[in-house]
Amino acid sequence: MADDITRDLVVYIQSISYSGSTSTTLLSEPIPIFIDSTDPNLWLPESVCDAFEDAFDLELDSGSDLYLVNDTHHTDLLSSNAEVTFRLSDVSSGGDTVTITLPYEAFALTAKSPLVDNSSYYFPIKRAANSTQYTLGRTFLQEAYVSADYERGIFNVSACAWNEDADQNIVTVSSKTSDSSSCSQSSCSSSASSESAGSPLSRGAVAGIAIAALVGVVILAVIMFFFIRRQRQKNTYKATPPGPDTSVLSGPVHNPFPPEPSSSSNDPSPPQGSFWSPDTIFRGNSESYNGGSSGDGVQNENSVNEQGLEIDGHEVHPVYHELGGMEIGKLSANSAHAVTDEQIRRPGT
pLDDT at 286: 44
Question: What is the arithmetic mean of pLDDT over 315-344?
Answer: 54
Question: What are 253-283's pLDDT values in tens digits?
Answer: 555 555 555 555 455 555 554 444 555 555 5
pLDDT at 239: 55
Judge residue 72's burial from the number of C-beta atoms within 10 Å of its C-beta, 0-12 exposed, 13-18 middle, 19 or more buried.
exposed
pLDDT at 179: 55
Cα separation, 202 vs 192, whole angstroms: 15
Highest mean pLDDT among 59-63, 190-194, 294-298: 59-63
For the chain, domain boundaries: 5-162, 267-349
**Predicted TM-score of the model (pTM):** 0.50
Cα separation, 97 vs 268, whole angstroms: 139
Question: What are 103-143's pLDDT values in tens digits?
Answer: 999 999 999 989 888 899 999 999 999 999 999 999 999 99
Question: Does position 347 have pLDDT exceeding 70, yes or no?
Answer: no
- The percentage of residues in the chain with a pLDDT greater than 70, rounded to a whole number, is 61
Pairing state between β 109-111 and 120-123 = antiparallel
pLDDT at 85: 95
pLDDT at 210: 86
What CATH number is given for 5-162 in this structure? 2.40.70.10
pLDDT at 235: 76
What is the pLDDT confidence band of residue 344, given thresholds at 50, 70 and 90? low
- C-alpha closest to that of 14 among 128, 95, 107: 95
Single-letter amino acid, residue 211: I
pLDDT at 173: 82
Inter-residue contact 11 to 88 (CB < 8 Å): yes
Highest mean pLDDT among 90-94, 207-211, 256-260, 325-329: 90-94
Question: What is the arithmetic mean of pLDDT over 223-244?
Answer: 75
Higher local confidence (pLDDT), 10 or 238: 10
Average pLDDT over the chain reads 76
